[in-house]
Amino acid sequence: MKRTLLVSLFSSVAFSTALAQQQPQFSHYGFNGMFLNPAYAGIKGQGEITALGRSQYFGYDATFDTGGSPQTYMLTASLPVAAIGGGLGIGVYRDRIAQLTTTNVQLSYSKHLKVGEGRLGIGIQGVFNNIYQGTYRPIDKDDVKVPQEGADRKLDAGVGVWYESDKLYAGLSVNNLLRSDYQFNSQVAGGKTAEYINENHAYLTAGYNIEASSSVVVTPTVLMKMVLPGKFGDNNKFNFKNNSYEAGVRATFNDRFWGGIGYRYDESFTALGGLSFSKDNAMRVGLAYDLIAFNQDARALSSFEIMLSYRLPKPGLAVRPAIRTPRYSF
């Protein structure tokens, strides 16, 4: 489920039934629940703002065209809102891969329910996508499926559930529910319209906090990314060949410093680290480095990622509770 580098082969890959991952991936997925799942909105009981920048396959050059390295920039924010019994979230990202640029805006609502020692979020999401095509050189001069400087924009939707407690979190989500069909002007005047279908994507993720000592917390994490091509009911809709798997573990010291390692199946190993500072360690800065260890053809050997986030203070009580004493009980 690797992101296909759409350069000279774009016309034969992007406009057919796409089995490749069409959405950006992040090595900081353990800090990035708002991107993965609309039910995450406000589930931690405090607001969060997270910014991420990623350069994937850094320095890759397609030999005769530049821009083979995918670039992604993202900003998310979420906030618990007691008046609506849940939380609200927003996410914006811009993703460029070769000549294809996607601008995505997500608005999310999560309903929170008390379940055991934690809370369960049930989320819905509205999505706006704008996809822009650049300039391509067709192999066949009169190929009507090669786009020409076109753009299309569509609305879409997503749903998810997320459970959060002091020790455990787990979430499952599905987006691009409408499988929107994007259409673009052809290179050939009067030719048919080139098409691009945003397939359904699903994310299954989990993590568990283990108190190794009074000052160290160890957190194993997992993430499964699924591409679900075709319509629901198709025989090949749920095909495990289109899945990608990630696993990792990080250690957090005094709720201030962390470091960890990860593995992305059949692609890379990841090292990440960061620190928290400011009052209540509200500000966080993280760095991640991916070493591409498998399937190195048409890839550079490194990917880089930087994260900056801020946790808002937890909301206080609107009305101070009454202080009761036995003095006036008689």
* Rounded distance between C-alpha atoms, residue 109 and residue 91, angstroms: 12
Q: Give the 3-state secondary structure of residue 22.
A: coil
Spell out the domain ranges in the chain.
21-200+281-290
Q: Is 245 left (phi over 0), alpha (psi -120 to 50) or beta?
A: beta
DSSP of 265-300: TTTEEEEEEEEEESGGG-EEEEEEEEEE-S--TTS-
Helices (H), the chain: 10-13, 33-36
| Residue listed under structure tokens 């993720």 | 205
Q: Is the dihedral of CA 134, 140, 142, 146 positive or negative?
A: negative
Q: What is the pLDDT along the chain (330 residues), one digit of tens a residue?
A: 334 323 333 333 333 333 456 899 999 999 999 999 999 999 999 999 999 999 998 877 765 566 678 899 999 999 999 999 999 999 999 999 888 899 999 999 999 999 999 999 999 999 999 999 877 777 777 777 777 778 899 999 999 999 999 999 999 999 999 999 998 876 665 555 678 899 999 999 999 999 999 999 999 999 999 999 988 888 888 887 889 999 999 999 999 999 999 999 999 999 999 999 999 999 999 999 999 999 877 677 899 999 999 999 987 655 555 556 555 444
Distance CA 85, CA 120 (A): 12
pLDDT, residue 25, reads 93
Query: And the tokens for 65?
Result: 């065209």
Phi/psi of residue 95, nearest 5 degrees: -125, 125
Say what the pLDDT of residue 326 is: 56
**In the prediction, which pLDDT does 192 show?**
57
Which pLDDT value is given to residue 62? 63
Alpha-carbon span 68 to 96, nearest angstrom: 9
Kindly calculate the radius of gyration of the chain based on its CA atoms and give it in whole angstroms.
22
The SS3 assignment for 62 reads coil
Return the pLDDT at 190: 59
Q: State whether the Cα torsion 212-215-216-219 is positive or negative.
A: positive
Residue with tokens 């082969």: 9
How high is the pLDDT of residue 315? 79
Q: What is the pLDDT of residue 16?
A: 34
Q: Give the pLDDT score at 114.
A: 97
